[in-house]
Chains A and B, each alone.
Chain A
Amino acid sequence: MDKILRIDMGAEGGPKQSTETAGEFAALGGRATTSTIVAKEVPADCHPLGAENKLVIAPGMLSGTAAAISGRISVGCKSPLTGGIKESNAGGQAAQVLARLGYAAIIIEGQPAGDDLYKIHINKDRVEISVDNSNKLLDNYPLIDKLKKEYGDKVAYMTIGTAGERLMASASIACTDPELRPTRHCGRGGVGAVMGSKQIKAIILDDAGCKNRPPQDAEKFKAANRVFVEGIRKHPVAGEGLPAYGTNVLTNVLNEAGGYPTHNFKTGQFDGGTKISGESLAELEIKRGGSATHGCHRGCVIQCSGIYNDKDGNYLTKQPEYETVWSHGGHCGISDLDTIATLDYWDDNIGVDTIEMGVAVGVAMDGGLLEFGDCEGAIKLVRDEVGKGTGLGRILGGGAEMTGKAFGVERVPVVKSQALPAYDPRTVQGIGVTYATSTQGADHTAGYAVATNILKVGGDVDPLKPEGQIELSRNLQIATASIDSTGLCLFIAFPILDQPETFQAMLDLLGGFYGIEMTGDDVVALGQKVLSLEREFNKGAGFGPADDRLPRFFKTDPLPPHNITFGVSDEELDQLYNWE
């Protein structure tokens, strides 16, 4: 990855491309690359949908190599949802292909003058930026079907649906999986709206004639990869639970622990939980001829996804993730898997974040727009309102906070305007710290304290008490910022937290590839550097300590069945970034 592609969409006479040497970014990747470039080049006080914002796309440090499970791609920008810095990453094929093409990053800046819609085709010989208005207002699935006829099935696609074109703050960027389904999304924070504001509908990545990136120390790299894969396969979470049941194995866990936010965060248990659990989902997928096990990119050794078929055995969507099953399920009082899968399909097709969309629908239910549990009503809201860009659809597509204001809802579960995911911070207090303090807004992946609080992976910290949560969340946020830079899937965290030899193998993979010695201290230093850069950007965008808070109802309204409130004090929250 020795070069950076820069595209100025606002250049006189049409989009202009240039190639730079990667410099400091040659040995960086993912979130470290996107956040460094955004912090350096984007004015923190700019409008996220204006010409001054930039969309930065970066494969991880190990993407495009033979390293297992290294296919995460990061997209960075100023977020139209939060108003702060954003890094949103996804699986799919894009990271591997972009890295093999030799790009450490693509930087898209400026804005075209007219209303033409562009596509960008990148192969080993050239970059072609062309107008294609025939793609206007196509959703992701029909768009990919159309593009496949032009570019074939040996490429990776990054696309926006209609939500991105309509600049909705919940809009995602879809990345295709190995079978070219647009199912892996950079979902959070409205990155799809930023791509839409640059008037880019599709990026087609073709690595024909390219090879895997070669490691500096092939022997060390190969040996490390072997130990790394063994470590993942032998760990019960990564090697057994995730492949068999997917991420939705958590529904029963969180429901049993009383931390499953139900009916817009009113209780911690959902009586329909069993019906939509990972166990029920996997059984149904297999019964209908789908699959409970599927990898989002080639080279994945966990295979946490699956294929969900409809009643007639036809493909409906990929296996809905735990967060999606929750946001469209328990959060909305819905306990029907077909409804949830249909909503997952429409979210992917329109191109919106499933968390933000589901939470917005649940907030609208709380505001009286429809009843909790109204399956058909929820589908209509997403498919017919958001999908068609109606006035109501634009409110919902603007996210949970906008929806809460539109319907006069007091209980709006957001931090920095981004919807909370599927763990109640009163019952899982460590994740509450992450929600409150993350540079990204409420984001469970930013420091997954659920592992230690609830799953008892990587230690044991009592989920119901504030003690120890700051340190836990801090350490996880630092480690995550590093892992998000490697291109490795975050699910490697389960084995590397529990197995020292697997953690060492990850260090040796990086060290072997770049011909350096990597230590645990290097991982911490990189993570801290990324977080500090992001925080500095957010300060420039107007964020302060008051933004590192949960909505007040988490401190005042006890959550059944434990009947406790979030107990970590504001003073403690302000100590999270104690290295600064």
Chain B
Amino acid sequence: MKVTVKLFATFRAGRFNIEVRDYPAGTTVADVVKDLELPGEKLGILMINHRHVDLDRVLSEGETLAIFPLVGGG
């Protein structure tokens, strides 16, 4: 299935900003994180369709997954 993955801030370095990627059915957010070798301890916000999700959320065809490191501001 095709999933759009968006990366932000430090996670972009050496990877990409936005990419449509192919994953087998049943792929979870954690699988994508592992696939992209994102450091778990720096993992911040995970969102699908503008809602926060957990690592065990299973992705569906056509969804957009946004992955941020821990960030803040204000």
* Residue ranges of A at the interface with B (Cβ–Cβ < 8 Å): 235-238, 240-242, 244-250, 252-253, 256-258, 269, 278-279, 304, 321-323, 444-445, 448, 450-451, 454-457, 462-464, 490-491, 494, 561-562
Contact = CB atoms under 8 A, between A and B. Distances in A.
B24 interface: no
Contacts of A444: 74
A249 B71 contact: yes
A249 B8 CA distance: 9
A244 B73 CA distance: 12
A448 B70 contact: no
B70 A242 contact: no
Nearest to A256: B66
Contact of B9 (A279, A322, A323, A454): A279
Nearest to B46: A456
Contact of B50 (A240, A304, A322, A562): A562
Given A240-B10, A279-B8, A456-B45, A249 B73 contact: yes
Contacts of A247: 73-74
A491 B68 CA distance: 19
Interface string B24-50: 000000000000000000101101001
Contacts of B74: 247, 250, 322-323, 444-445, 448, 450, 490-491
DSSP class of A's interface residues: helix, strand, loop or mixed? helix
User: A249, A250, A258: which has the most chain B beta carbons within 10 Å?
Assistant: A249
Interface string B1-21: 000001011101000000000
Contacts of B73: 241-242, 246-250, 278, 304, 321-322
Contacts of A246: 73
B72 to A, nearest CB: 4
B61 to A, nearest CB: 20
A245 B72 contact: no
Nearest to B39: A236
Contacts of B71: 236-237, 241-242, 245, 249-250, 253, 455
B9 A245 contact: yes
Interface residues of B, number: 20
A236 B68 contact: no
B9 A455 contact: no
Contacts of B44: 236, 455-456
Given A236-B69, A456-B52, A490-B74, A244 B9 contact: yes
Contacts of A494: 72
7 shortest interchain CB distances as A-B pairs: A247-B73, A241-B71, A236-B70, A237-B72, A258-B50, A250-B73, A249-B71
Contact of B8 (A252, A322, A448, A561): A252
B72 A241 contact: yes
B43 to A, nearest CB: 9
